[in-house]
Chains A and B, each alone.
Chain A
Amino acid sequence: MKRTIGLIISLIFVSTFMACEREERGFRVQTPDANRINSTQLTSLSAGESAPQPPVKNEYEDNAFALSQGKQLFSQMNCVGCHAHGGGAIGPALMDKKWIYGSQPEQIFSTIVEGRPNGMPSFRGKLPDYEIWQLAAYVRSLSGLTPKTAAPGRNDDMQSREPENSTESQTPHRVTPPTLR
């Protein structure tokens, strides 16, 4: 009996601290090395022997605070101007499974930094790296690719879509970019 109670108490204790990382707020944090991103390949074709790239982990994807900061930036930096709140308009939708320039964290990072043909502007030098990583994490949460425990659960304003933590995870699927007419 005593052992059971002890077990229950220690389980409660452990589960209390499990969520600590979720809410961790770093104001002067290290993010994945931005220099590695410059070598991000957009295509699987390469000259000579292709070397597989080590996947980049964006630690912000497990962090609710960083994701909500990314969500704020998504409006403040006017991403909504073209992508709307994920549904897309002038720019492609971000809440579906179709990805033109890749769905991996480092690919989204480099899309934001470099800009892309047909309208995506470059944010090189306009935002500090850690804010771009926050944005990249939020963009992935739009199609349910980040843990539901961390993705935003509510909106500051009225919004027509489900909150990000209710979005079903979409299997990323590469599509070719539309051509200019």
Chain B
Amino acid sequence: MKRSESNYWLIGTLASASVLCSGCGYGNQSALNNAGIQSERLGSLWWLFLAITGVVYVVVMALLIVAFFRVRRAGANSVPDIKPDPARERKVGNIIKVAVAVTAITLFALMITSFSAGRAIDSLSRSQDPLEIKVTGQQWWWQIEYQNPTPSNMVTTANEIHIPVGRPIKIDLVSHDVIHSFWLPNLHGKKDLIPNYPTTIYLQADEPGVYWGQCAEFCGYEHAKMRFMVVAEPPEDFQRWYAAAQQPSQNPSTDSQALGQQIFLKSVCAQCHTIQGTPANGRVGPDLTHVASKPYIASGSLQNDRENLMNWISDPQAIKPGIRMPMNTYSQDDLNALVDYIQSLK
């Protein structure tokens, strides 16, 4: 091989590798990058299946190739040999028996490992005192409600789930419009959200980190922009976050923020959005009480900065066409004030 040719090979390999990895943003969102006991079991099951089926594939293909080249050469005029040869028949029969036995044993072993992985995954559902979270799939965002026996201690947020590391989490999945699917590959498999049929998923994160999840069942125009973020953090950090999330929104501290709050409450915004501590109590869109503390808006599709907020408020239909949020025409001053207020909602 000439040198220039080998360079082409190298470039080609690198290019295809980079194409394969182009979906690898969002913190290595992968079912093989395990962060919890359940996805670890699923991951090892996947590797086991890959290894065994890989070996089977190689063996079958090798035998097939051997069979191709071992065709017995017969002369054009020779009579076909249709009289069975007892010794050869017995040999072939034994080979088939062994092959069937090996296949049955392999399948049985895989079934056992699959079953035990299933049991291990299900063991979380018997754990005492899980943290209960209700997740409602909406077109096209996730409503997150932390359940608590005392209603005033419940927390409602959107597209961002904070969980304590090492504690089992019980997630109740609900949908009121179409079928969605809750998929958090680093922690667990998929679970569908079916209208009028609540489902439950248990999971646990063993390593702190930020994991990305998304809707895995086509649900309409913005299915691809229906992401959510899971922040697994040490229990004390989680408690701190939860205590902050329970607080009502901050009061405006500057004139501009106060004007922004007035605009929010008097125009279309309050019709759909809730800001705790103000009369805004709409239930159609995400709760915005602490929206400024989030790194992303629009279900993980935009970074939460001033420019994106302005574009989002004035023309959300350009960013996520088809969503319920309408286009808004505010004067530049009003828009500035509104964004000032929204950015103050830490």
Give residues in A with beta carbon < 8 Å to B. Answer: 25, 27-28, 72, 76-77, 125-128, 130-131, 156-158
Report the 6 A-B pairs with minimum CB-CB distance, sorted nearest first.
Answer: A128-B326, A27-B317, A76-B284, A27-B321, A126-B271, A28-B317
A108 to B268, CA, bound (A): 20
Tell me whether A27 and B271 are in contact in the complex, defined as CB-CB below 8 angstroms, given that A156-B176, A156-B177, A156-B195 are known contacts: no
Q: Which of A72, A127, A157, A158 meets B271, CB within 8 Å?
A: A127
Q: Shortest beta-carbon distance, A7 to chain B, in Å? A: 38
Q: Which of B176, B196, B271 meets A77, CB within 8 Å?
A: B271
A156 to B149, CA, bound (A): 30
Q: Which residue of A lies closest to B195 (CB)?
A: A156
Given A28-B317, A72-B324, output 5 extra A-B contacts at Cβ < 8 Å: A127-B268, A128-B268, A128-B326, A131-B326, A157-B176
Residues of A close to B209: CB separation below 8 A: none
Residues of B close to A77: CB separation below 8 A: 271
Tell me whether A27 and B268 are in contact in the complex, defined as CB-CB below 8 angstroms, given that A156-B176, A157-B196 are known contacts: no
Q: Shortest beta-carbon distance, A121 to chain B, in Å? A: 11
Q: Shortest beta-carbon distance, B284 to chain A, in Å? A: 5
Q: Does B322 lie at the interface of the complex (its beta carbon under 8 Å from any beta carbon of A)?
A: yes
Q: Shortest beta-carbon distance, A75 to chain B, in Å? A: 10
A100 to B322, CA, bound (A): 34
15 example contacts (A-B, Cβ-Cβ < 8 A) are as follows A28-B317, A72-B324, A76-B283, A77-B271, A126-B267, A126-B268, A126-B271, A127-B268, A128-B268, A128-B327, A128-B328, A131-B326, A156-B177, A156-B195, A157-B176
Q: Shortest beta-carbon distance, A67 to chain B, in Å? A: 15
Q: Shortest beta-carbon distance, A1 to chain B, in Å? A: 44
Q: Shortest beta-carbon distance, A81 to chain B, in Å? A: 12
Q: Does B346 lie at the interface of the complex (its beta carbon under 8 Å from any beta carbon of A)?
A: no
Q: Which residue of B lies closest to A126 (CB)?
A: B271
Residues of A close to B327: CB separation below 8 A: 28, 128
Residues of A close to B196: CB separation below 8 A: 157-158
Residues of B close to A126: CB separation below 8 A: 267-268, 270-271
Q: Which residue of B lies closest to A69 (CB)?
A: B324
Residues of A close to B195: CB separation below 8 A: 156
Q: Mark B248-284, 1 if CB is under 8 A from A, else 0.
A: 0000000000000000001110111000000000011
Q: Shortest beta-carbon distance, B195 to chain A, in Å? A: 7
A166 to B177, CA, bound (A): 22
Residues of A close to B283: CB separation below 8 A: 76
Q: Which residue of B lies closest to A25 (CB)?
A: B322
